[in-house]
Structure 1
Amino acid sequence: MRASLIQIGVDPDEPVAERRTRVASLVREQRGSDLVVLPELWTVGAFAYESFAEEAEPLDGPTAEAMAAAAWDTGVWLHAGSIVERDPDGPLYNTSLVFSPKGDLVRTYRKIHRFGFDKGEAVMMAPGSEVVTVPLPQTTLGLATCYDLRFPELFRALVDAGAQTLVVPAGWPARRREHWTLFAKARAVENQSYVLACDTAGTHAGVEQAGHSIVVDPWGEVLAEAGTGEEVLTVDLDLARVAKTREDFPALKDRVLGRK
């Protein structure tokens, strides 16, 4: 399976509508990939809290419309990163969108662990509650978002639900970049799964982004890693490696606590 991670540069001076159009064009350039992944809250910026309410949109809003068309035109599975979702009943959510090659919105994931320590996202957005997987013809994706990466129990639940490839869009800051790569590798090794972690580039709301989107295999080997600017990582994944790793080193079978 060929996967492309688009590390989008989020520039606060670029209007959201223009960035949406530009990103749709970047997705269309990935023809030949099977899966394309975008970062967290790339339309507005993960730390641009003051813009969350203004830029919130429904699941059939302008970002979903643009990404559905791009997925259809390109013939790819598209994890379109996340948007600020405005639920019809009022709450805001940090919600990931996954589209099929036909342009259908097949899964959404509302971020469970909200960042901010009682401010920012943690108070402005409601938490999700569902563990979400997406069956693709080649693999089963497990969905998580940014700060979720610090909570290994979510990833265990995703593996229990059948996930083989863990997809993590993020708006991770540069000052904690070492944590970003450490956690991506750890989640891959402990769950014997691929990890596709797609971050943003640039600086928004005064917060420099880490970049360094990364693809890690089930043995913890880094297959590709971006720099700090806008960049596309394209990697061919040997999906049989998941089953082989789990068979050759069956650590998951020795779980005692929390095993299902």
Structure 2
Amino acid sequence: MRASLLQIDVNPYESVDSRRDRVAGLVRAQSGADLVVLPELWPTGAFAYEAFEEYAEPLDGPTAAVLSAAAADASVWLHGGSVVERAGDGTLYNTSLVFGPDGRLERTYRKIHRFGFDKGEATMMGGGESVTTVALPDAVAGLATCYDLRFPELFRRLTDDGAQLLVIPAGWPARRREHWTLLSRARAVENQAYVLACCSAGTHGGVEQAGHSQVVDPWGEVLAEAGEDEEILTVDLDPARVAKTRADFPVLRDRVL
């Protein structure tokens, strides 16, 4: 199973429309991959709070249309990172979109843990309530977003629901980069699953992004890691390694709580 993580530079001087078109072209270029992953809120930037209202869109909005077409053209499963979703009642959500190789929207995930404490996303957006997986042809993927990474209970629920891959788009700040890389490895080790952690690059909303997207195997080994700039990571995964790791070192069997 070949996965490509697209670490997108979310530059405030690039228009949202231009970035949509550019990212769609990058997705189309991954036609040999099975799964392509984009970062969190890449159309606007995860910290560009002032843009959330302006660019909020329904699930069949312009970003979904562009990503659907790109997934179909490349014939890949596409985790489109996330967008600012405007629900029918007007509530905003940080929502991930997963498209099949035919371009159909197969799954959505509203971010459960909202970052910002008493400001930003935490006050502007509603929180998701559903633990979400999606069955790919060769593995089950568990969905989480950025700040979710700090809450191991979510990932254990995903593992209990059959996840072998944990896919985590993010807009993580550079000043906490060590937390980003450490926690990505921790979630892989404790759940004996692959972690595909895709962060954005550049600076938006005045916040420098961590970059350093990475793919971690079920034993906690980093198979590939990006730098700080826009970059594409392509890694071949063996889903059977998840079952083998869990059988060879059956720590999950010894859970008490």
Range into which the TM-score falls when normalised by the shorter chain? over 0.9
The C-alpha deviation readout for 1:13-63, integer Å capped at 9, x for no partner, is 100000000000000010100000000000000000011001100000000
* Alignment RMSD: 0.3
Give the alignment's TM-score, normalised by structure 2. 1.00
Provide the secondary structure at the position in 2 that maps to 1:195.
strand
The Cα shift of 1:114 comes to: 0.2
1:72 aligned partner, one-letter code: A
The Cα shift of 1:232 comes to: 0.2
CA distance in 2, matches of 1:95, 1:255: 32
**1:1-260 aligned within 5 A:** 1-257=1-257
CA distance in 1, matches of 2:88, 2:153: 30
CA distance in 2, matches of 1:101, 1:86: 25
Please identify runs of 4+ aligned residues in structure 1 that moved more than 3 A.
none
Unaligned segments of structure 2, at least 5 residues: none
The Cα shift of 1:145 comes to: 0.0
CA distance in 2, matches of 1:67, 1:84: 15
1:109 aligned partner, one-letter code: Y
The C-alpha deviation readout for 1:143-190, integer Å capped at 9, x for no partner, is 000000000000000001110000000000000000000000000000
The Cα shift of 1:7 comes to: 0.1
The Cα shift of 1:239 comes to: 1.2
The Cα shift of 1:238 comes to: 1.2
CA distance in 1, matches of 2:140, 2:239: 10
The C-alpha deviation readout for 1:58-103, integer Å capped at 9, x for no partner, is 0000000000000000000000000000001110000000000000
CA distance in 2, matches of 1:129, 1:256: 25
2:240 aligned partner, one-letter code: A
The C-alpha deviation readout for 1:194-252, integer Å capped at 9, x for no partner, is 00000000000110000000000000000000000000000000111100000000000
CA distance in 2, matches of 1:88, 1:256: 42
CA distance in 2, matches of 1:205, 1:77: 30
Give the alignment's TM-score, normalised by structure 1. 0.99
Provide the secondary structure at the position in 2 that maps to 1:185.
helix
CA distance in 1, matches of 2:55, 2:253: 45
CA distance in 2, matches of 1:90, 1:253: 44
1:152 aligned partner, one-letter code: P
CA distance in 1, matches of 2:23, 2:145: 19
